[in-house]
Amino acid sequence: MEQEIVLKKQRQGLSFLKPLIMKLSPKINKGSLVSFLKKSGITLLSVLLFIGLWHMGAKALYDVEAEYKIEKALAERGQEAADAERACIASGDSSCQPNTLPSPSQVWASLQSLIADHQVITADKAAFVEKMAATNAKLIAQGKDAIVYTGRASFLDIIFTSIKTVFAGFLLALLIAVPIGIIIGLSPSLRSAFNWFIQVFKPVSPVVWYLLVFMIVKTLYIGDSSDNAFVISFISVGLCAMWATLVNTAMGVSSVDKDYINVAKVLKLGTFQKVFKVILPSSLPLIFTGLRITLSVAWMVLIAIELLAQSQGLGLFVWEEFQNGANDSNSKIIVAMFVIGIIGFLLDRFMLTVQNMVSFNKNEAV
């Protein structure tokens, strides 16, 4: 009885904290929580289903190629060779394993291998910098260039190179497409005059854009021994991806409410004031829709352009692994595929967030 009285007093003594706790604690709606758990459960099930189907498909393809290798050995070298081939495959020896679609476990192992490889390369870079610190200090004091690390790039370095390239291309597309879109959006005559130009060059393949940029950059940098792969890559990406922003900007500017334009005339705003205070704020939702599409297109075409330009990004990584044909090359290609998809998704979510911040329509987008 005494213990109950003490507990009751303790609860009463803490009762003054109840309003604060209620204020600080998040209000959980039971319906939204159930909906969230339901969506999460469905997503998890779909992921598990995907992995299961992937595993079964990889196993089926493995068996098909393994059986083919055994039958080929039997036909060409006899039963003893076929038995030896079967035993070699069963042992897991990398020299005789079927080179087909890797399983989820193989892809996971390749991801861990790439991460471990990154750690080794990072340690090598740090050791090189420490070793060359005194020498580089002397070279810099003499006005010469420092000696830089020229070893192989790690997988994370390759990812950062691709991200840097796509953002440089995206910035170039923005700087070209938005001003031109504003200019032709302000004039129906200019829109009609430049419509053919947009319609002709918008569907051009990224491979063709790369070749065009290569012709120009090669001439401008003639006699220069520096590596121009990055310059060629980001310019090609920007030119190939800018068209959605150009079209959306022109459409947004041309569709500004005429009442806003009349108010600007009444207030006697100059051309630049009218553009920056009236037209651009009204056009921002459409402009950002175009920028979102541009960033997505830039990331998609980047892989092909990096391959052609021999730029040390994900595109070249995938091609080199395909050409390499090592036992884990297919797994590394699948790792790169997932990385490309995840980064593309994150870039799209980033642009969608920015778009929703400036858009009048806050509806949820897919």
Let me know if residue 38 belongs to a domain.
yes
Measured distance CA(93)–CA(23) in Å, rounded? 63
- Note the pLDDT of residue 338: 93
Both 63 and 199 in one domain: the answer is no
Both 257 and 352 in one domain: the answer is yes
Q: Check whether 12 has a pLDDT greater than 90.
A: no
171-180, 266-275, 321-330, 338-347, range with the lowest pLDDT: 266-275
Let me know if residue 341 belongs to a domain.
yes
Domain boundary pick from 114, 132, 152:
152
Q: Check whether 363 has a pLDDT greater than 50.
A: no
- Note the pLDDT of residue 2: 47
Let me know if residue 253 belongs to a domain.
yes
pTM over 0.85: no
- Note the pLDDT of residue 359: 64
- Note the pLDDT of residue 177: 93
What are the pLDDT digits (tens) for 19-56? Answer: 544 544 455 556 676 777 777 788 888 889 999 999 99
- Mean pLDDT score across all residues of the chain: 81
Computed from CA positions of residues 187, 191, 197, 201, in that sequence, does the dihedral angle turn out positive or negative?
Answer: positive
Both 148 and 138 in one domain: the answer is yes
Let me know if residue 269 belongs to a domain.
yes
43-52, 182-191, 238-247, 251-260, range with the lowest pLDDT: 251-260
- Note the pLDDT of residue 42: 86
Confidence of residue 169 (pLDDT cuts 50, 70, 90): very high
What are the pLDDT digits (tens) for 121-152? Answer: 888 888 888 888 888 788 788 777 778 777 77
Domain count, the chain: 3
Is residue 127 within 8 Å of 94, Cβ to Cβ?
Answer: no
Both 191 and 281 in one domain: the answer is yes
Both 331 and 190 in one domain: the answer is yes
Nearest of 218, 201, 208, 216 to residue 305 by alpha carbon: 208
Nearest of 315, 317, 349 to residue 166 by alpha carbon: 315
Residue with the two structure tokens 């990224």: 206
- Note the pLDDT of residue 81: 81
- Note the pLDDT of residue 100: 85
89-98, 110-119, 193-202, range with the lowest pLDDT: 89-98
Q: Check whether 336 has a pLDDT greater than 90.
A: yes
Measured distance CA(161)–CA(327) in Å, rounded? 26
Both 184 and 267 in one domain: the answer is yes
- Note the pLDDT of residue 365: 47
Let me know if residue 363 belongs to a domain.
no
What are the pLDDT digits (tens) for 254-312? Answer: 887 777 777 777 777 777 777 777 777 778 888 888 898 999 999 999 988 988 888 88
Let me know if residue 364 belongs to a domain.
no
Task: Return phi, psi of residue 332, to 5°.
Answer: -65, -35
Domain residue limits at 129 = 102-152
Give percent of the chain above pLDDT 90. Answer: 23
Both 130 and 214 in one domain: the answer is no
Q: Could you tell me which residues come within 8 angstroms of residue 279 by beta carbon, excluding any fewer than 6 positions away?
A: 182, 186, 253, 256, 260, 261
Both 231 and 351 in one domain: the answer is yes
Q: Check whether 14 has a pLDDT greater than 70.
A: no
Q: Check whether 170 has a pLDDT greater than 90.
A: yes
Q: Check whether 5 has a pLDDT greater than 70.
A: no
Q: Check whether 339 has a pLDDT greater than 90.
A: yes
Both 306 and 234 in one domain: the answer is yes
Both 212 and 126 in one domain: the answer is no
Residue 295, domain CATH: 1.10.3720.10
Give percent of the chain above pLDDT 70. Answer: 86
Measured distance CA(56)–CA(71) in Å, rounded? 22
Both 164 and 194 in one domain: the answer is yes
Extract the tokens encoding 237: 């990406």
Q: Check whether 173 has a pLDDT greater than 50.
A: yes
- Note the pLDDT of residue 17: 47
- Note the pLDDT of residue 24: 45
Let me know if residue 366 belongs to a domain.
no
Both 55 and 122 in one domain: the answer is no
Q: Per residue, what are the HEC states of the chain?
A: CHHHHHHHHHHHHCHHHHHHHHHHCCCCCHHHHHHHHHHHHHHHHHHHHHHHHHHHHHHHHHHHHHHHHHHHHHHHHCHHHHHHHHHHHHHCCCCCCCCCCCCHHHHHHHHHHHHHHHHHHHHHHHHHHHHHHHHHHHHHHCCCCCCCCCCCCCHHHHHHHHHHHHHHHHHHHHHHHHHHHHHHHHCHHHHHHHHHHHHHHCCCCHHHHHHHHHHHHHHHCCCCCCCCHHHHHHHHHHHHHCHHHHHHHHHHHHCCCHHHHHHHHHCCCCHHHHHHHHHHHHHHHHHHHHHHHHHHHHHHHHHHHHHHHCCCCHHHHHHHHHHHCCCCHHHHHHHHHHHHHHHHHHHHHHHHHHHHHHCCCCCCCC
Nearest of 363, 332, 355, 333 to residue 109 by alpha carbon: 332
41-45, 68-72, 147-151, 336-340, range with the lowest pLDDT: 147-151
Measured distance CA(26)–CA(40) in Å, rounded? 20
Is residue 236 within 8 Å of 210, Cβ to Cβ?
Answer: yes
Let me know if residue 365 belongs to a domain.
no
